[in-house]
Chains A and B, each alone.
Chain A
């Protein structure tokens, strides 16, 4: 019997295996940020413990920081204390920190791939549920709680039960104008946002092979939104092309040897998944969430569903979602007006996302009364977007152009949606109050968000009149 990619990575990392206990597995890279780490460092101090491998630990600040001018003092003193605590902890324990003024600062899941720290076959953890992003490289990456952050700091290992495995086979080609974000939202919409609880997913099939690394990261990023522990994509030529020449990736002869090894990171033909799902990509439209979890989503040319249209056990969920979102069943998605647009996050804050949004925005103006933000996922993405002229396109159109950070994805920094605001957001969660108390979030792709900013309501971006010669 062959092995799945997940099992192969797992086997490479088992340190101790015992009867009736979780395995102790080795962690290759531990990413930390200001929000879920301070209590872990306190725990180390209390027990008089050190960080076992500072050289396998990287810190940045992203969640609670402002994305406005970094030279201004923090308005939020509690957030400032948290950032200061991370500085002190990194100093005390000898951990490299990409601080606010570092050219390498950014959202933790954006910076590790762009530096080449995320490599096939590794294990990566972070006190953040979107750690699955790194799975796009054939890397076993998952979110952990603060107690486990402390465990990894102290031992560079975790005690883990093996998850069940599920193959997600995407069949057919993704239609033109339909993005990776639409693909993953459509999958969650079909199966529900707790469908994969207890599983690690492997995304497979032609549509996945055709995606860029940025797009694959968008897919894996949202694995948690279907309930999965992690999501994997086997590495291939696209992966190697992306990694080649990156700062932390081996060069020259060693590169060749490393690629040989990475090529082994494929599920065997006869590998046995606990479950397999076939998903047809060819009919997907651009997606817009209408409810209060990512599974409550429809195509742009659909209408908001009503309780009568869903199975009885889902009726209560739909009713409370409609009430919170202040939407009537039967409303055309294209009739939903927004007053806030957020482009960014670990889901869609990479350079390709900004290019796609800029293509839509070029030559247009943001509709009046709309607050529109573009928040690059990292300072490096920001720099590149400025070099490519994308920043100028956004600013000319009336978007705010910000410093890197998590920003309005989770509203725990000054970028908060106000009560009643309706947000077209490229982020990953539309839970009640996620982006700000009583605000209403609609998850979409970057190009869909850009089009909503221009029109003031959702439109089918496949019919968008792109103005050529506008610098993109």
Chain B
């Protein structure tokens, strides 16, 4: 996984609450067995019409948002299905950070496994950012080493993220390798832990 330390990029303001993972990546693209290449299907039903033509009105089909790397959105982002294809698509499209007032649990957790930083900010801060990001090309710097976002024009805001996840992202750590260090503890646990069947 790519480490995340600090990142600067164009903000795409997607002004909609409750964007579910079915909307982020529709079901027909979940049949692929690879982990990469999902960016082309991100927000598919909004980006493309029934004839697979680009919808020119959709934010990410307009300049400069095709090159946006910070997604700004509303409450309860990523609700619904647990599909990790959702963060895969977001990351593959080019986004490195998502800012919202709230995230669904599984999606939030999945982001950290894929080098994406989900930033939860109070609704009024998100509203303020939507106002700023109404200027096309508005950029934000996301600094995970010091836990703040800034626009280089005087706006700066700190955010919270728990230390464990922060450290994983900062160093691009693989959680499985870390857990395997406890192999002896797991084996010990299994000796005393009762499960009433074997498959």
Which residues from chain A sit less than 8 Å from chain B, CB to CB? 12-13, 15-16, 20-22, 24, 26, 28, 35-36, 38-39, 42-43, 47, 49, 52, 54-58, 63-64, 76, 78-79, 81-82, 85, 96, 116-117, 119, 122, 127-129, 143-148, 150-151, 154-157, 159, 161, 163, 193-194, 197-198, 224, 227, 229, 248-250, 254, 258, 293, 316-317, 320, 410-412, 419, 429, 431-434, 437-438
Query: CB within 8 A of A16: which of B104, B109, B185?
Result: B185
Docked complex Cα distance between A129 and B102 (Å): 18
Among B31, B50, B76, B113, the one with the most A-chain Cβ atoms within 10 Å of its Cβ is B31
| Closest beta carbon of chain A to B34's beta carbon, Å | 7
Residue on B nearest A261 in the bound complex, by CB: B194
Docked complex Cα distance between A434 and B109 (Å): 23
Which 6 pairs across A and B sit closest by C-beta, in order of nearness?
A412-B27, A147-B113, A145-B84, A38-B33, A145-B110, A143-B82
Complex contact B199–A58 (CB within 8 A): yes
Docked complex Cα distance between A254 and B196 (Å): 9
Residue on B nearest A438 in the bound complex, by CB: B50
Query: CB within 8 A of A26: which of B82, B178, B193?
Result: B193
Complex contact B82–A144 (CB within 8 A): yes
Does B182 count as interface, using CB distance less than 8 angstroms? yes
| Closest beta carbon of chain A to B2's beta carbon, Å | 14
Query: CB within 8 A of A151: which of B102, B175, B190?
Result: B175
Which of chain B's residues have a CB closer than 8 A to the CB of A96?
199
Complex contact A64–B104 (CB within 8 A): no
Docked complex Cα distance between A258 and B34 (Å): 43
Docked complex Cα distance between A438 and B164 (Å): 41
Complex contact B50–A419 (CB within 8 A): yes
Docked complex Cα distance between A159 and B182 (Å): 12
Docked complex Cα distance between A64 and B30 (Å): 9
Complex contact A433–B45 (CB within 8 A): yes
Complex contact A432–B104 (CB within 8 A): no
Docked complex Cα distance between A42 and B32 (Å): 13
Complex contact A412–B30 (CB within 8 A): yes
Q: Majority SS of interface residues in chain B?
A: loop
Does B156 count as interface, using CB distance less than 8 angstroms? no
Complex contact B45–A316 (CB within 8 A): no
Residue on B nearest A429 in the bound complex, by CB: B80
Which of chain B's residues have a CB closer than 8 A to the CB of A58?
199
A–B pairs, 24, beta carbons within 8 Å: A15-B189, A16-B182, A24-B186, A64-B30, A96-B199, A116-B197, A128-B82, A129-B80, A145-B110, A147-B114, A148-B113, A155-B183, A157-B179, A193-B79, A194-B102, A198-B105, A227-B104, A316-B16, A317-B17, A411-B28, A412-B27, A412-B30, A433-B26, A437-B26
Residue on A nearest B74 in the bound complex, by CB: A316
Which of chain B's residues have a CB closer than 8 A to the CB of A36?
82-84
| Closest beta carbon of chain A to B24's beta carbon, Å | 11
Contact (A151, B179) CB under 8 Å given A21-B164, A145-B106, A317-B17 = yes
Which of chain B's residues have a CB closer than 8 A to the CB of A145?
82-84, 87, 106, 109-110, 113
Docked complex Cα distance between A41 and B111 (Å): 20
Complex contact A317–B31 (CB within 8 A): no
- Besides the known contacts A128-B82, A194-B76, 5 further A-B residue pairs in the complex with CB atoms under 8 A apart: A24-B185, A36-B82, A143-B82, A147-B110, A433-B23
For window 43-95 of chain B, which residues contact chain A by CB distance below 8 Å? 45, 50, 75-76, 79-84, 87
Among A57, A117, A146, the one with the most B-chain Cβ atoms within 10 Å of its Cβ is A146
Docked complex Cα distance between A63 and B83 (Å): 12
Which of chain A's residues have a CB closer than 8 A to the CB of B162?
161
| Closest beta carbon of chain B to A65's beta carbon, Å | 11
Which of chain B's residues have a CB closer than 8 A to the CB of A156?
186, 190
Complex contact B76–A81 (CB within 8 A): no
| Closest beta carbon of chain B to A9's beta carbon, Å | 12
Which of chain B's residues have a CB closer than 8 A to the CB of A161?
162
Query: CB within 8 A of B18: which of A22, A35, A194?
Result: A194
Does B128 count as interface, using CB distance less than 8 angstroms? no
Complex contact B31–A79 (CB within 8 A): yes
Docked complex Cα distance between A57 and B197 (Å): 11
| Closest beta carbon of chain B to A160's beta carbon, Å | 9
| Closest beta carbon of chain A to B22's beta carbon, Å | 5
Query: CB within 8 A of A39: which of B23, B35, B110?
Result: B35
| Closest beta carbon of chain A to B143's beta carbon, Å | 21
| Closest beta carbon of chain A to B196's beta carbon, Å | 5
Complex contact A317–B105 (CB within 8 A): no
Docked complex Cα distance between A434 and B45 (Å): 11
Binary CB contact string for chain B from 88 to 124 against chain A (1 if under 8 A, 0 otherwise): 0000000000000011111001100110000000000
Complex contact B175–A229 (CB within 8 A): no
Which of chain A's residues have a CB closer than 8 A to the CB of B82?
36, 127-129, 143-145
Complex contact A129–B106 (CB within 8 A): yes
Which of chain A's residues have a CB closer than 8 A to the CB of B31?
35, 64, 76, 78-79, 81-82, 412
